[in-house]
């Protein structure tokens, strides 16, 4: 099985673990196209060659690097002609130009093609993106949707092919693992948030919730973003600034140890007209670390958490406060949820599981469809 994947996300070394897991599966000949770096706003993410065993990681120049919708690869056609893939896995949204480029080249090389989407809101795009999207929806042999809502959006847009609901990446349960020893039944209760500091992530709801929380607790807010100063000012207004620690974004290699220092991880996302939570990766990282999680009802969070955590109605600070109080006062509850969370991750959200399910998609494509000419 010759598979060519195009994925700017795989410049991140941690995500390459999925590629190694894919490469271990039977008769897999995998090559992955990545840019030399990805420009994400003001940040530049250079290619990390961290997990490269068993497959080819091909660095290809990217045109319009940093433009989410308009970037494409120089020399991709030549590479595809040389590699002669049976399946082209386009790890991009269907409305992006690079997806059209790879889809067109796949058809020209008589290969089957699939795309990935997180888009969980039914949006209409202006020309030329509407034309790009329509072409890709009409010619893809398969689609992978990162959430149940993303699947609904694809069907509403008249995509008629098969869909697999599967996250883009899983987690490494060896890296995200429980800390040694049980958590103390007494002492300071540590609540955490980790992620972007923007209004829709709902950290203001978390601050309102802890403002009415009695007992010996502290809140760690780890992240950066344009809403940081507003949140810091709000913590002063609510008289909780002495118990709230704001820390800047931490490198990915330090995330596991930061999570292991928490008693509970909260993701209080708020749905907006143009956004709702697509997945919430930090939740599965915390769950793999046996940290109890609390999430809002926004987007995919309830489906991700299942019964292995607590879910509250988004925007309801009082309900979040009660969930935190229950976990603070009941160490056995947070211990049980921590264990159930890790079990859920081991069953559904490891890199190995995501790789195996992706491999199954490839097998289905090759067994049920014929390449376009």
Does residue 130 sit in helix, strand or coil? helix
Examine residue 251 and say whether the peptide bond preceding it is cis (omega within 30 degrees of 0): no
Q: What integer pLDDT is reported at residue 372 of this predicted model?
A: 44
Residue length of the chain: 373
Going across the sheet that includes 217-222, the strands are 244-247, 217-222, 189-194, 264-267, 292-296, 310-312
Does residue 77 sit in helix, strand or coil? helix
Examine residue 128 and say whether the peptide bond preceding it is cis (omega within 30 degrees of 0): yes
How crowded is residue 335: how many other Cβ atoms within 10 Å of its Cβ? 16
CA distance 217 to 212: 11
Query: Which tokens sit at 313?
Result: 């109605």
Contact 262, 220 (CB under 8 A): yes
Domains of the chain: 2-170+351-368 (3.40.50.2000), 189-348 (3.40.50.2000)
From first to last of the 373 residues of the chain, give the pLDDT tens digit.
Answer: 999 999 999 999 989 999 999 999 999 999 999 999 999 877 899 999 999 999 999 999 999 999 999 999 999 999 999 999 999 999 999 999 999 999 999 999 999 999 999 999 999 999 999 999 999 999 999 999 999 999 999 999 999 999 999 999 999 999 999 987 555 444 799 999 999 999 999 999 999 999 999 999 999 999 999 999 999 999 999 999 999 999 987 877 889 999 999 999 999 999 999 999 999 999 999 999 999 999 999 999 999 999 999 999 999 999 999 999 999 999 999 999 999 999 999 999 999 999 999 999 999 999 986 544 3
Tokens 């909780």 correspond to 240
> Does the predicted TM-score (pTM) go above 0.85?
yes
Cα 373 to Cα 103, 111, 367: the distances in Å are 12, 9, 17
Strand 56-59 relative to strand 29-34: parallel, antiparallel, unpaired? parallel
């Amino acid at each position: 099985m010759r598979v060519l994947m195009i994925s700017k996300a795989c410049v991140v070394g941690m995500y390459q673990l999925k590629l190694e897991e894919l490469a271990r599966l039977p008769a897999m000949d995998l090559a992955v196209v990545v840019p030399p770096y990805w420009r994400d706003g003001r940040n530049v993410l250079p290619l990390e060659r961290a997990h490269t065993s068993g497959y080819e990681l091909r660095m290809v120049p990217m045109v319009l690097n940093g433009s989410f919708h308009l970037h494409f690869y120089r020399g991709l056609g030549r590479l595809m002609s040389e590699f002669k893939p049976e399946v082209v896995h386009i790890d991009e949204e269907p409305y992006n130009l690079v997806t059209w480029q790879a889809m067109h080249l796949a058809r020209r090389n008589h290969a089957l093609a699939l795309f990935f989407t997180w888009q969980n809101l039914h949006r209409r795009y202006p020309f030329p993106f509407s034309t790009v999207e329509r072409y890709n929806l009409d010619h893809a042999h398969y689609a992978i949707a990162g959430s149940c809502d993303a699947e609904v959006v694809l069907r509403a847009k008249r995509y008629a092919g098969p869909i697999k609901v599967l996250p883009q990446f899983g987690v490494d349960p060896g890296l995200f693992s429980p800390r040694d020893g049980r958590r103390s039944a007494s002492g300071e209760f540590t609540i955490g948030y980790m992620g972007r500091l923007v209004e829709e992530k709902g950290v203001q709801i978390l601050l309102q919730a802890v403002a009415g929380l009695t007992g010996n607790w502290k809140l760690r807010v780890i992240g950066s973003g344009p809403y940081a100063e507003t949140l810091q000012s709000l913590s002063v207004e609510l008289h909780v600034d002495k118990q709230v620690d704001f820390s800047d974004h931490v490198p990915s290699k330090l995330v596991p140890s930061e999570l292991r220092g928490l008693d509970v991880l909260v993701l209080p996302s708020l749905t907006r007209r143009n956004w709702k939570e697509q997945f919430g990766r930090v939740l599965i990282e915390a769950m793999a670390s046996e940290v109890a999680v609390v999430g809002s009802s926004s987007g995919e969070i309830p489906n991700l958490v299942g019964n292995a955590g607590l879910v509250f109605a988004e925007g309801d600070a009082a309900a979040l406060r009660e969930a935190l109080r229950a976990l603070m006062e009941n160490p056995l509850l947070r211990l049980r949820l921590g264990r159930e969370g890790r079990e859920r991750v081991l069953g559904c959200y490891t890199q190995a599981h995501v790789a195996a399910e992706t491999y199954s998609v490839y097998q289905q494509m090759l067994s049920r469809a014929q390449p376009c000419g």
